[in-house]
Amino acid sequence: MSMNTQGRPTGVEGVETQPGQFESFSGHVGLRLAEPLIFELGSTDTTGVDVPEVEDFDMCLGGLERKSEIGCPGLSEPDTVRHYTRLSRRNYGIDMGVFPLGSCTMKHNPRLNEKMARLPGFGDIHPLQPQSTVQGALGLIDELATWLMTLTGMPAVAMSPKAGAHGELCGVMAIRAALEARGDAREIVLCPESAHGTNPATAAFCGYKVKSIPAKENGRVDIEALKAALDDTVAAVMITNPNTCGLFETEIREIADEIHKAGAFFYADGANFNAIVGKARPGDLGVDAMHINLHKTFSTPHGGGGPGSGPVVFSDALKDFAPVPYVVKDAEGFHLVENKEGKSFGRMVAFHGQMGMYVRALSYMLSHGSDGLKQASEDAVLNANYVLASLKDVMTPSFDGPCMHEALFDDRFLKDTGVTTLDFAKAMIDEGYHPMTMYFPLVVHGAMLIEPTESESKANMDQFIRSMRGLAAAAKAGEVARFEGAPYHAPWKRLDETQAARKPVLRWEAGE
Ligand SMILES: *Cc1c(COP(=O)(O)O)cnc(C)c1O
């Protein structure tokens, strides 16, 4: 096997055949060509375009001009297209099959949204264009804002945050601004044990100390522990509802009242809004600020770091502190309020937010209608409960059902089998499925969190469930080899993910 200069196996020999199979002569297997890095494929003296030699001209860069080759690989157009197409075939995406990642809401992205987002009037405009020339786009932002306020029952929304975590930052900055405005220097933010990592990270980033609130046996926030921790040093409580165990926090109204009695603010993490759209409004639950992951709840392709959008809705208590810019309408049309006015805490982004995501989200809403959005939530919850009910005799659900949009299992069913949650997830790859979310939330041991979303038909889920039941049975029957080397059928086997996260090699460097 040849190694590239980063120590990664590459080249034609990098493709491994299955045990017991013949090695192919070429190193390619099953209509899959081995794929080196583009730097290894192309050379600097090849190019897909002919550009005339540049005639002598005077450099005006004051000695800063490049002295050597730029070092980019030159490839012909067909070679370039093939390289990226081959890479794309190694990817797993929502357009390929069930994508059961819990806490991610990987749903189908209707093609209509894509068509709308590419309309030249939306796709080809520039954020610095005069506002009089982009009235339609501003009108769209305003209409989407109205939908978001209506669906959440909240009086204000900041559209600009660019993802869920960015929305959390927006919400906590507004909370801090509100506390500072009343001269109240509180220093603690409370988060439940099951919180998504971004919640404590956001609080810490804003300078707060984070304290953890334990969960009860039934997977919900322990309200007595919360009450005991609430005092005049607590700035905010951040709670996800439905929570990351896939459970609705049934005491949410009482929790909100306790938070407000202590003079603190209630930040709701709205990443799981998909489960309750059209059924419950966060405004009625006593929420002060909540981000909405447009890229989870209202479609939009996401993953792999792809674009997100995290508008934040605000209660009356916080709305004056919301960031700029925002859209207002008067007799002459739509305007952007660009500069900090009044109590607004300022600006979070250079321009107005993720226009493409706004178009997709509004297309999604308009094509579903309010009844369709409600049905999407109902179907998402129904599908998750179908998974829970169909697997509960062979896997171990962490809490009694019914669940909301996702089904949480732990690794008790793997006890004494020698198979871990990680092994189980890797074996799912051999079965053709992207693994579910694993080892999150942290409140249960060896968590496996499955969120089918409303996109899946019963037939798709039955197929998925059969594979999961097969794997559970194999683990219990002691077929450890099936798991410990898994995935056998993927181009790459087990990667050192810790090393990849801690010491990512992001630059290619020319070897010998
Ligand atoms: C996805 C998620 C977030 C973070 O949202 P991003 O858009 O990925 O930044 C926060 N909390 C929960 C519960 C989530 O599922």
Kindly state whether residue 158 falls inside one of the protein's structural domains.
Answer: yes
Q: Are 166 and 286 found together in one domain?
A: yes
For residue 171, report the distance from its CA to the centre of ligand 1, in Å. 14
Report the CATH number that the domain containing residue 263 is assigned in CATH.
3.40.640.10
Q: What is the mean pLDDT of residues 298-321?
A: 92
For residue 509, report the distance from its CA to the centre of ligand 1, in Å. 34
Q: How many C-beta atoms surround the C-beta of residue 9 within 10 A?
A: 14
The Cα-based distances of 23 to 19, 31, 177, 439, 487 in angstroms read 10, 14, 65, 37, 19
For residue 141, report the distance from its CA to the centre of ligand 1, in Å. 22
Q: Which residue has the higher pLDDT, 91 or 273?
A: 273
Q: Are 316 and 171 found together in one domain?
A: yes
Kindly state whether residue 447 falls inside one of the protein's structural domains.
Answer: yes
Above 70 in pLDDT, residue 485? yes
- pLDDT value at residue 123: 95
For residue 81, report the distance from its CA to the centre of ligand 1, in Å. 33
Q: Are 157 and 287 found together in one domain?
A: yes
Q: Which residue has the higher pLDDT, 298 or 23?
A: 298
- pLDDT value at residue 7: 65
Residue 53: band (very low, low, confident or very high) from pLDDT cuts 50, 70, 90:
confident
Please name which of 293, 186, 171, 294 lies closest in space to residue 238, comparing C-alpha atoms. 171
Q: Which residue has the higher pLDDT, 312 or 58?
A: 312
- pLDDT value at residue 31: 78
Q: What is the mean pLDDT of residues 333-348?
A: 93
Q: Are 358 and 381 found together in one domain?
A: no
> How does pLDDT run across 104-157, given as a tens digit for each residue?
999 999 999 999 999 999 999 999 999 999 999 999 999 999 999 999 999 999
- pLDDT value at residue 387: 98
- Percent with pLDDT over 70 in the chain: 95
Q: Are 255 and 130 found together in one domain?
A: yes
Kindly state whether residue 105 falls inside one of the protein's structural domains.
Answer: no
- pLDDT value at residue 40: 85
Q: Which residue has the higher pLDDT, 102 or 492?
A: 102
- Residue 293 CA: nearest ligand 1 atom is 7
- The binding-site residues of ligand 1, defined as CB within 6 angstroms of any ligand atom, are 103, 163-165, 196, 198, 240, 244, 269, 271, 293, 308, 310
Name the 3-class secondary structure at 463.
helix
Q: What is the mean pLDDT of residues 303-328?
A: 93
Above 90 in pLDDT, residue 360? yes
Alpha-carbon span 222 to 38, nearest angstrom: 53
Residue nearest to atom 8 of ligand 1 (CA): 164
- pLDDT value at residue 319: 97
Give the structural domain span for 81.
Answer: 1-49+71-90
Q: Are 261 and 185 found together in one domain?
A: yes
Residue that finishes a domain, picked among 366, 382, 400: 366
C-beta separation of 193 from 443 below 8 A = yes
Kindly state whether residue 101 falls inside one of the protein's structural domains.
Answer: no
> How does pLDDT run across 9-52, given as a tens digit for each residue?
554 444 444 555 566 777 777 777 778 888 888 787 777 888 88
Half-sphere exposure (Cβ direction) of 403: Cα atoms closer than 13 Å:
31
Q: Are 160 and 19 found together in one domain?
A: no
Q: Are 122 and 23 found together in one domain?
A: no
Please name which of 507, 193, 167 lies closest in space to residue 357, comparing C-alpha atoms. 167
Kindly state whether residue 56 falls inside one of the protein's structural domains.
Answer: no
- Percent with pLDDT over 90 in the chain: 78
Total domains in the fold of the chain: 3
C-beta separation of 141 from 335 below 8 A = no
Q: Which residue has the higher pLDDT, 306 or 134?
A: 134
Kindly state whether residue 95 falls inside one of the protein's structural domains.
Answer: no
Above 80 in pLDDT, residue 491? no
User: What angle do helix axes 458-476 and 421-430 make, rounded to 10 degrees?
Assistant: 130
Q: What is the mean pLDDT of residues 206-221?
A: 96
Residue that finishes a domain, picked among 57, 90, 123: 90
Kindly state whether residue 388 falls inside one of the protein's structural domains.
Answer: yes
Above 70 in pLDDT, residue 200? yes
Q: What is the mean pLDDT of residues 375-381?
A: 98
Residue 191 tokens read as 């988060």
Q: Are 226 and 347 found together in one domain?
A: yes
Residue nearest to atom 14 of ligand 1 (CA): 271
- pLDDT value at residue 317: 98
- Residue 308 CA: nearest ligand 1 atom is 7
Q: What is the mean pLDDT of residues 367-382?
A: 98
Question: Is the alpha carbon torsion for 177, 178, 181, 183 positive or negative?
Answer: negative
Q: Are 343 and 464 found together in one domain?
A: no
Q: Which residue has the higher pLDDT, 449 or 27?
A: 449
Rounded to 5 degrees, what are φ and ψ at 236? -155, 160
Rounded to 5 degrees, what are φ and ψ at 320? -70, -20
Please name which of 297, 192, 314, 169 lies closest in space to residue 249, comparing C-alpha atoms. 192
Report the CATH number that the domain containing residue 419 is assigned in CATH.
3.90.1150.10
Kindly state whether residue 64 falls inside one of the protein's structural domains.
Answer: no
Please name which of 151, 140, 164, 129 lies closest in space to residue 355, comparing C-alpha atoms. 140
Side by side, which strands form the sheet with 289-291? 156-158, 312-314, 289-291, 265-269, 234-240, 188-192, 209-213
Specify the amino acid at residue 253. Answer: R
Lowest mean pLDDT, pick from 32-46, 138-152, 235-249, 388-402? 32-46
Q: Which residue has the tokens 């509960």?
A: 392
Above 80 in pLDDT, residue 407? yes
Q: Are 349 and 252 found together in one domain?
A: yes
Lowest mean pLDDT, pick from 86-90, 251-255, 484-488? 86-90
Specify the amino acid at residue 40. Answer: E
Q: Are 360 and 379 found together in one domain?
A: no
Q: Which residue has the higher pLDDT, 488 or 510?
A: 488
Residue 4: band (very low, low, confident or very high) from pLDDT cuts 50, 70, 90:
low
Half-sphere exposure (Cβ direction) of 421: Cα atoms closer than 13 Å:
18
Pocket test for ligand 1, best of 104, 196, 294 (most atoms within 8 A of CB): 196
Residue that finishes a domain, picked among 335, 366, 397: 366
Kindly report the average pLDDT of the chain as a whole number.
Answer: 92
